[in-house]
Amino acid sequence: MRSSYEAVDECDVLAMDTFQATSWKFRQSEWEPYKYLYEPLKIEQGAIADPLYFDFATFVQTATVGRAIPKSTSVFEERVGAEGTPRIVRRDESLRDNDALPEAIAERCGKKIYERLVNGFDRGEDFQVEYFPGAPKPVSRDARGTQRLDEAIGGMRAIAEVFVDNGYALRISVDNDLRASNRPENADVSRRVRVRVNGPATLWGARELINRGIVTTNEFLGFTLTAYLAESGISSAYTERVTDTEIDMSFSLSL
C-alpha cells in the first residue's frame, strides 16, 4: 500500500491532501456494506495484516485514484506539512494525458515493491527493516535467448513464492502457457507464461473495481513481476481474468 501511495504521489494525479480526505470519506461510506459481507466474521478496521481488511483498504485506495483520474488536472495546488503550506504542483509533461496515468502508476508501484523485496522494506518503526528471503535479483544481461527467458521464469516463480509466504495468496502457479505455444522460429526470443493466483488477498477488490468500471487495478503481483522482468531486460505485457476464486494472468515475454 505504501508503494502504491508513493506511485500516485510521484505521478501527480491529484493533491495528496485531497487524496487523503477523499479516500477517508470513501472508506467510511463503503465500510459497513463490506463488513456485512463477511458476517459473522469480525474484521478490525485498520488491521492491515488481516487479508480481509487489506482487500478492502487496497480497493479503497485504488478506487479513489481511479475515480479521480478522469477529472485530474496537470497543474494543481497541494498543501503539505503540519501547517498545510500551499504549493503549486505541475505534472511531468510525459503524463499530461490522463489516459497514461494508470499504466504509469502500475509501473512505478511495481518497481517500488520489487526494490523493497530485494533490498528490504523500511517499516519506519524504530528503523526496522523487513527482509524477504528468496526474492530474486534481476537476470544477468549476459544470459542470452532461451537461457535468459528460462531464468526469468524461474525468478517469477521465486517472487510468487515470496508473495505466498507473506500471505498474499493461498497458492500461485507460474507455468509455460501451453494454450499459446510459441512459433518455432520465435521459440528462442519469446515465451507465454500463465500465472494463476489462487485465493489472492485482493480478490474482492479486483472484482469490485471491474464491476464499477474503474480503470486502475490493484494487481500488485502483476506489477511486481513486470518490474522484475524489465530489470532483467525482458519486455512483457499481461492480461488478467478474475474469477470467484482466482486471478488468472497471461504474460507475454520477449527479448
- The DSSP code sequence of 22-38 is HHHHHHHHHHHHHHHHT
pLDDT at 167: 95
pLDDT at 179: 57
Joined together, the cell numbers standing for residue 86 give 500551499
Single pTM value for the model: 0.93
The rounded distance, in Å, linking the Cα atoms of 165 and 153 is 18
Output the pLDDT for position 125.
67
| Grid coordinates of 101 | 496515468
The pLDDT score that the predictor gives to residue 138 is 97
DSSP letters spanning 66-131:
HHHGGG--SEEEEEETTTTEEEEEE--GGG-SGGGHHHHHHHHHHHHHHHHHHH-EE-SSTT-EE-
Instruction: Collapse the DSSP code of 5 into the 3-class scheme (helix H, G, I; strand E, B; otherwise coil) and give the result.
Output: helix
CB 160 within 8 A of CB 195: yes
Q: How many domains does the chain have?
A: 1
Output the CA–CA distances (angstroms, integers) from residue 33 to 26, 27, 38, in the order listed: 12, 11, 10
Of the candidates 207, 202, 214, 226, the one whose C-alpha atom is nearest the C-alpha of residue 65 is: 214
Instruction: Please name which of 171, 68, 58, 151 lies closest in space to residue 113, comparing C-alpha atoms.
Output: 58
Q: What pLDDT is recorded for position 178? A: 59
Residue 132: which domain range? 2-254
Single-letter residue type at 166 = N
- Residue 169: name the closest of 222, 238, 239 by CA: 222
pLDDT value of position 89: 96
Give the residue from 237, 232, 2, 219 showing the smallest Cα distance to 136: 232
> What is the Cα–Cα distance from 177 to 144, expressed in whole angstroms?
21
Q: In the chain, what are the helix, strand and coil shares in percent, each to the nearest 5?
A: 50, 20, 30
Report the SS3 class of residue 42.
coil
User: Residue 243 in 3-state DSSP?
Assistant: coil
Question: Per-residue pLDDT for the chain (255 aa), expressed as one digit of tens each?
Answer: 999 999 999 999 999 999 999 999 999 999 999 999 999 999 999 999 999 999 999 999 999 999 999 999 999 999 998 888 999 999 999 999 999 999 999 999 999 999 999 999 987 766 688 999 999 999 998 887 788 999 999 999 999 999 999 999 999 999 987 555 455 545 568 999 999 999 999 999 999 999 999 999 999 999 999 999 999 999 999 999 999 999 999 999 998
Confidence (pLDDT) at 188: 65
Cα 199 to Cα 191: distance, rounded to the nearest angstrom: 26
C-alpha cell at 5: 501511495
